[in-house]
Amino acid sequence: MRLSVQPLIAAPRIQRRVAELGAQIRADYQGRDLVLVVLLKGAVIFASDLMRRLDNNVCVDFLRAASYAGTESTGEVTVRTIPETPLSGRHVLLVEDILDTGRTLAAALQWARSQQPASLAVVTLLDKPSRREVEAKADYTGFTIDDHFVVGYGLDYEQRYRQLDSIHVLEHE
Ligand code: IMP
Ligand code: MG
């Protein structure tokens, strides 16, 4: 089976939206220290652009919660790598690439809550609400998309395509 990629969201449109999200987050967290907890690996490119739109009061750490193999979720999600930064009493913003079934975010939120942050919120670049299986909502969303498997701008299919600077739909021909 051959794979092809079709453009969905062009790079300049992503950059404009990331700038808007940055402005909104900057305004909402004015005067407060913020810890960005980036979900590995898919959210790394989004987070690196987003954090350059934020103020000096931001620091960054990483969390890995994974279940995905190929295009189908295996259902069970475990938190495999936790941030070094203590989150207790801090304002925490989870940075996710895409909300699909919601299981990854639900697991990450459950773990983050157990650290007793002062506040906990979520920013996701993409949301596919039609695929939701468990309750999971973002406070900030870049783009809401239909039920496509997408790659690029950090998102992968079997670890490939992350380097594309725009978002594409992956199709099996
Ligand atoms: P969920 O746990 O089903 O919500 O899936 C979230 C995770 O699955 C994301 O962090 C992605 O890593 C991966 N994922 C879900 N949909 C896509 C997609 O369309 N392209 C690439 N990865 C995806
Ligand atoms: Mg992922």
- For residue 103, the ligand closest to its alpha carbon is 1
Which pLDDT value is given to residue 27? 96
pTM of the model: 0.95
User: Quick one: residue 56, left, alpha or beta (phi over 0 = left, psi -120 to 50 = alpha)?
Assistant: alpha
Give me the active site residues, please: 100
Going by their DSSP bridges, the two strands 167-172 and 72-81 should be labelled as unpaired
What would the two tokens of residue 58 be?
């931001």
Which pLDDT value is given to residue 137? 95
User: Quick one: residue 122, left, alpha or beta (phi over 0 = left, psi -120 to 50 = alpha)?
Assistant: beta
Using CA positions, which residue lies closest to atom 19 of ligand 1? 149
Stretch (H or E) spanning 173: none
DSSP string for residues in 133-147: -S----SEEEEE--S
Which pLDDT value is given to residue 56? 84
Ligand 1 center–CA 155 separation, angstroms: 8
Q: Judge if the beta carbon of residue 104 lies within 6 A of ligand 1.
A: yes
- For residue 64, the ligand closest to its alpha carbon is 2
User: Counting Cβ atoms within 10 Å, is residue 44 exposed (0-12), middle (13-18) or buried (19+)?
Assistant: middle
Low-confidence ranges of the chain (pLDDT < 70): 68-74
Ligand 2 center–CA 31 separation, angstroms: 31
